[in-house]
């Protein structure tokens, strides 16, 4: 059965935001975009968690989204993060993304203010009904402080523009309940859980490690799509240590930015309160990249 957001099945990459001297570096950004398009990535996801969106001003966020849409020029899909813990602000960001030609919007669960389940429902309902973009609900309670319960997502699935879920709860039970009860396109929000999530009906991943090895993540997803479990397991075993380190050595996007720099694709500095990877993490990351065959 085709899922609601099937056009976004496959590999989406949660892009880092390159910074130089405190400003967004659009030259490097364009190089990263071309790298992803050449690799065959299905969709680019700027200004999400990996893109350090909490440190971008609203004006910067608008400019980044407009730049990515312009640079892509329809060659792949673009699904910017337009979420906020203010419904009015999320609506403004989403309307802007729609106006300049984005293909969908990634909507993180409102964070810090911890809505009730009804509050979650009303928030996403307003975004779905007052904009025309397909909406991807981003459920990451480890960052937002509260889970969007599967019953709430199942209710939201009845709305036309609620099309996708970025599943980052770590719960295959929750994902199974959503997949078995809706026709939403469920994408993994954790690289290392891509294979198990696809095994229960997930349709791909919004990836961090895809910033450095997009072709390998595409190969894993393609193997699962074809039903070649042995090939998918081979890719999973190869990718797992790298996926683990990208989210385990420090807070995302600290490790992925360090890895990109080591591989000659320097995305520049981090913005406070993000700080560089510490020495012990750097040593371990170099070892992981060398064992993978990248260094």
Dihedral of CA atoms 68, 70, 72, 74 in degrees, nearest 10, equals 130
DSSP 39-88: HT-SEEE-SSTTTTGGGS-HHHHHHHHHHHHHHHTTSSEE--B---SSHH
Our answer to whether residue 292 is catalytic in this structure is no
Provide the 3-class DSSP secondary structure of residue 113. coil
Alpha-carbon gap, residue 239 to 187, rounded angstroms: 17
> Token digits for 93?
């960001």
Q: Can you say how many angstroms the Cα of residue 131 is from the centroid of all Cα atoms in its chain?
A: 21
Distance between CA atoms of residues 286 and 20, nearest Å: 23
CA 48 to chain centre: 6
Catalytic member of 42, 125, 138, 146: 138
How is the chain split among helix, strand and coil, in percent rounded to 5?
50, 15, 35
CA-nearest of 209, 210, 203 to 188 is 203
> Are 236 and 259 within 8 A, CB to CB?
no
Answer yes or no: are the C-beta atoms of 18 and 87 closer than 8 Å: no
Give the residue among 72, 73, 90 at the shortest CA–CA distance from 81: 90
Annotation marks residue 138 as catalytic: yes
Say which of 77, 125, 146, 166 is annotated catalytic: 166
Is the CB of residue 205 less than 8 Å from the CB of residue 188? yes
Please give the positions annotated as active site: 138, 166
């Amino acid at each position: 059965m085709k899922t609601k957001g099937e056009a976004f099945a496959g590999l989406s990459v949660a892009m880092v935001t390159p910074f130089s001297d405190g400003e967004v570096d659009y030259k490097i950004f364009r190089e990263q975009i071309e790298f992803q398009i050449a690799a065959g990535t299905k969709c680019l996801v700027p200004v999400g968690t990996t893109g350090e969106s909490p440190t971008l001003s609203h004006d910067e966020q608008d400019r980044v989204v407009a730049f990515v849409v312009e640079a892509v020029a329809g060659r792949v899909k673009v699904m910017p993060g337009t979420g906020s813990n203010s419904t009015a602000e999320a609506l403004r960001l989403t309307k802007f993304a729609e106006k300049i030609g984005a293909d969908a919007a990634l909507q993180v669960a409102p964070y810090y203010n911890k809505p009730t389940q009804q509050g979650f429902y009303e928030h996403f309902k307003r975004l779905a009904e007052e904009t025309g973009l397909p909406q991807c609900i981003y459920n990451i309670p480890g960052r937002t402080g509260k889970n969007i319960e599967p019953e709430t997502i199942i209710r939201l699935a009845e709305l036309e523009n609620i099309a996708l879920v970025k599943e980052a709860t770590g719960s295959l039970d929750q994902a199974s309940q959503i997949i078995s009860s809706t026709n939403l396109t469920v994408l993994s929000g954790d690289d290392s859980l891509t294979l198990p999530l696809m095994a229960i009906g997930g349709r791909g991943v919004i990836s961090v490690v895809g910033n450095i090895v997009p072709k390998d993540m595409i190969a894993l997803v393609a193997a699962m799509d074809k039903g070649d479990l042995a090939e998918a397991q081979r890719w999973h075993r190869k990718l797992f240590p790298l996926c683990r380190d990208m989210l385990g050595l420090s807070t995302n996007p600290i490790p992925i930015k360090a890895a990109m720099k080591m591989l000659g694709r320097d995305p520049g500095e981090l913005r406070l309160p993000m700080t560089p990877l510490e020495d012990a993490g750097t040593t371990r990351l170099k070892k992981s990249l060398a064992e993978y065959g990248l260094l």
